[in-house]
A and B are shown apart, each in its own frame.
Chain A
């Protein structure tokens, strides 16, 4: 249906635009650009920065175009001497308290404040600093907050509250003392923060960034006594390309593998292998829960932001979580046991690095219970407790990896494509689609259907579970047994499904939850910017790789068959239980 049009005048010329939009969006529609800073479409319109101001005939003051509606007959001026001075002055005011250390800043070259300064032609900073240098908040294992670089745009607060319903951060203090803070100023690591990193993804400056661990990793790579192996999550292959100057969402699996080898990793493996393993364990867990009348609905446990969310906000519902570890943690446990045995090396020599689209994974790998491989070896090698090691040593986000590629001079876009190493690099299309919302569910159905019915699944692409709708649901027919399933992405939508569970009205048997908008492809560790249009392209690429894979069902993965035959024996078996399953903590909110 055609939307109604209205007539507006912009800079003296008449235009027709769609009714109901802001002045800013109306001007964008007709190709007139108004500079913005705090505004972020669909996320935040705090209207605090004062950059997007325009003149509206008849208004007493300048008008913020981001929050003011374009109405029939409105007469707008988007640039004039007065407007230019106002915009420039407001930017100069922000710069007064912003450190001018762009050359050594993590966001150098990818900073909205820097870009705007160039755009508005800032040549001097006439105002002096008025606030003392605040303390850096490095209490979190995932995220670092540097309030000195904060321009109080409010985007992080908006995304935390409105998209995730976590409310970990908010404005505190007034006037000079205004700042973004956490509950009682305790720091992100000590409050109910899920580490999802969406705040870092929307931050226009470097006020919130991922905890950078690339230095430690490079040191290990250069250490001959260590075997540094890497796993890459599904969503990296559709994100790293754009961070290296290629097209948005471009599928670059082969180049990524080649680049990681160039960087010096001794083996390049695929988290998709572990995703297939997850499907086996989780699929059988679901079947077992249905058969044995266990707790239903069962909810996926791959997304560590989601895990911490339910631990904080819905601790009573923890029994609904699948006990399966996430693919990253399954990989780490398998790498330091099964693979170490294959190599016949001391597991303490192996360093497992994960490349993840995710900041919460940094926290996940440091959870005290994630030392399964150590416990596996403890008695065999008579290891003392002080030698304990984590299954996964480091997690790097897509952004950090891009920085490492750049530092080491990897000519990414010109690299010839290479394949993952065996055996932990062998995967199926089912593992690939873990990176998109609905993917885990689709992958699980591909396997569960065949295991339960014993018949091959005719149509393996479940379109009903694809796409970016907040909550998707479907009813599956497994040999006469009807199963209702649901898929949610963002914690706001997860909250809806959890509230149903706590009220006892949830109609589902199985639920997939992904923390970030769009699933992992929109994760908090992905390249900036990440918009809905970019998420769509990344999603398209993931499903493309699925189509290109010769094997598309987890249980048909030969490497998976091998690991069960040689090592794990059977899904939910004793070894699996020790290495691949975990438990959760009741955290509460305070």
Chain B
């Protein structure tokens, strides 16, 4: 059953508006509370994939009493199949810089960082030029704010916010024990707002047009628009801004090649949805009333009937086994065992029932891994093995 929603394009993020000076000046003249309320009523949720309400994050950090606070823009875009943040930073960097600075105004931070994925070194020069221009303007309007780029070194785990802090502090990139959360104990132990690049870009839209304009897009619980990185077996790969809440059936209708057998929503750490579930699956945050809702950082990989789902899973697991930080047992050893297990079954060294043992293992990883990485390995594993079991065996 298809929902009544049709695929709706939006065009905010990449719209060339050239008015960041106005937006910055006007926003920082507004009291922080007003800006926080604007964000809260927009119902913007984090676009990195976890979907934490952005307004709430800024609010609790603003309430922390501390002379030093930080704003960090998480540009460690490492999820396989995601390439939107790179585009944002190269096409509309000023929107992001403005949003970082406004956040600084709201929470009381004077320094912002962009944690740039190691492989995005080619963005560094242009971005630094933009930062120089931006800081020049800040000086002109007597707004005391600095933005620096911190280059990552290529570990996937460092996109996890607390591992990112550790990395910035010169330590081994490993998630911290939580609590405390970044809002009270972030970078250098100081209260920190850390947002995804796209989330910050949306706040620009919200501060410029007001929360209603954003809230009116999307559906209940999943407001606003979102960038999707579309790849795989599609005639039109690329980045698209779409309203949240669309059904996967509509999405495949638009982007598929008429032979789509499955879509991986949310990258390697996301879920694989087989064709028979396209209609009942909606792209948005948990809590939608009808059907299944899948939150996502925006990676949409389409697979047609020529693809072996075993190879797809094998590829993901290799990725995870390599990128697990190695700290906690379920993730460190679990990823290796899942990888070894599916190979053993495929080769006939283990019988098909071993897959059930592996599914149990995946469940333990979901329940007991320390951070989002380990917890989410089971997402793709279980959804692929359960839906394409025969491809795993034969």
Contacts and interface: CB of A to CB of B under 8 A. Distances in A.
Contact of B367 (A62, A94, A131, A152): A62
A532 interface: no
Interface in A23-58: 45-50, 53
A174 B375 CA distance: 17
Looking at A53, A127, A174, A176, the one whose CB has the most chain B CB atoms below 10 A away is A174
A460 to B, nearest CB: 48
A551 interface: no
B66 interface: no
Interface in B317-331: 321-330
Given A93-B333, A174-B326, A126 B366 contact: no
Interface in A58-101: 61-62, 64, 67, 69, 82, 85-86, 89-90, 93-94, 96-97
A178 interface: yes
Contact of B328 (A48, A128, A173): A48
A49 B332 contact: no
Nearest to A66: B177
A61 B369 CA distance: 9
Looking at B155, B325, B330, B366, the one whose CB has the most chain A CB atoms below 10 A away is B330
A97 B323 CA distance: 19
Looking at B173, B329, B361, B366, the one whose CB has the most chain A CB atoms below 10 A away is B329
Interface residues of B, number: 35
Contacts of B157: 174
B334 interface: yes
A171 to B, nearest CB: 6
A53 B375 CA distance: 14
A89 B340 contact: no
A152 B330 CA distance: 12
A174 B329 contact: no
Given A67-B177, A93-B337, A130-B340, A174 B324 contact: yes
Q: Is the interface of A mostly helix, strand, loop or mixed?
A: loop
Contact of A152 (B155, B326, B334, B357): B326
A47 B329 CA distance: 10
A403 B366 CA distance: 43
A93 B374 CA distance: 14
A45 B332 contact: no
Contact of B326 (A49, A90, A178): A178
Contact of B361 (A89, A97, A173, A176): A89
B262 interface: no
Contacts of A126: 357
Q: Is the interface of B mostly helix, strand, loop or mixed?
A: helix
B236 interface: no
A90 B334 CA distance: 8
B3 interface: no
Given A53-B367, A82-B367, A90 B172 contact: no
A96 B334 CA distance: 10
Given A48-B370, A61-B367, A82-B367, A176 B321 contact: yes
Given A64-B370, A130-B336, A50 B326 contact: no
Interface in B167-195: 172-174, 177, 179
B177 A45 contact: yes
Contacts of A53: 367-368
Given A45-B177, A90-B329, A90-B330, A96 B337 contact: yes
Interface in A131-171: 131, 151-152, 170-171
B370 A93 contact: no
A49 B326 CA distance: 11
A48 B360 CA distance: 20
A245 interface: no
A574 to B, nearest CB: 53
B337 A130 contact: yes
B254 to A, nearest CB: 33
A171 B368 contact: no
Contacts of B368: 50, 53, 61-62, 64, 86, 90
Contacts of A89: 330, 360-361, 364
A62 B364 CA distance: 9
A50 B337 contact: no
A174 B323 contact: yes
Given A47-B177, A50-B329, A93 B367 contact: no
B367 A96 contact: no
B99 interface: no
B335 interface: yes
A177 interface: yes
A130 B334 CA distance: 10
A48 B329 contact: yes
Given A45-B177, A47-B370, A89-B364, A173 B326 contact: yes
Interface string B290-317: 0000000000000000000000000000
A175 interface: yes
Interface in A96-124: 96-97
B328 A50 contact: yes
Contacts of B334: 93
Contacts of B330: 50, 89-90, 93
A130 B174 CA distance: 22
A37 to B, nearest CB: 9
Interface in B327-380: 327-330, 332-337, 340, 344, 357, 360-361, 364, 366-370, 375
A177 B335 CA distance: 13
B329 A175 contact: no
A85 B357 CA distance: 11
A91 to B, nearest CB: 8
A128 B344 CA distance: 10
Given A53-B367, A61-B375, A171 B336 contact: no
A171 B326 contact: yes
A48 B174 CA distance: 11
A128 B340 contact: yes
Nearest to B325: A174
Contacts of B325: 174-175, 178
A170 B368 CA distance: 24
A152 B332 contact: yes
Contacts of B340: 128, 130
Nearest to A82: B367
B337 A178 contact: no
A61 B361 CA distance: 14
A53 B344 CA distance: 30
A175 B367 contact: no
Contacts of B327: 46, 48, 152, 171, 178
A152 B179 CA distance: 22
A329 B272 CA distance: 68
A89 B367 CA distance: 11
A152 B327 CA distance: 8
Nearest to A153: B329
A82 B361 CA distance: 12
Nearest to B175: A47
Nearest to B173: A174
Interface string B177-216: 1010000000000000000000000000000000000000
B172 A170 contact: yes
A113 to B, nearest CB: 12
Contacts of A177: 326
Nearest to B375: A61
A75 to B, nearest CB: 17
Nearest to A50: B368
Nearest to B337: A127
Nearest to B339: A130
Nearest to A174: B326
Given A50-B370, A177-B326, 12 more contacts: A48-B329, A53-B368, A61-B366, A61-B369, A64-B177, A85-B360, A93-B334, A127-B333, A128-B337, A128-B344, A175-B324, A175-B336
27 contacts: A46-B327, A48-B327, A48-B370, A49-B329, A50-B330, A50-B368, A50-B370, A53-B367, A61-B367, A62-B367, A64-B368, A64-B370, A67-B177, A85-B364, A90-B329, A90-B330, A93-B361, A96-B337, A126-B357, A130-B333, A151-B329, A171-B172, A174-B326, A175-B326, A176-B332, A177-B326, A178-B326
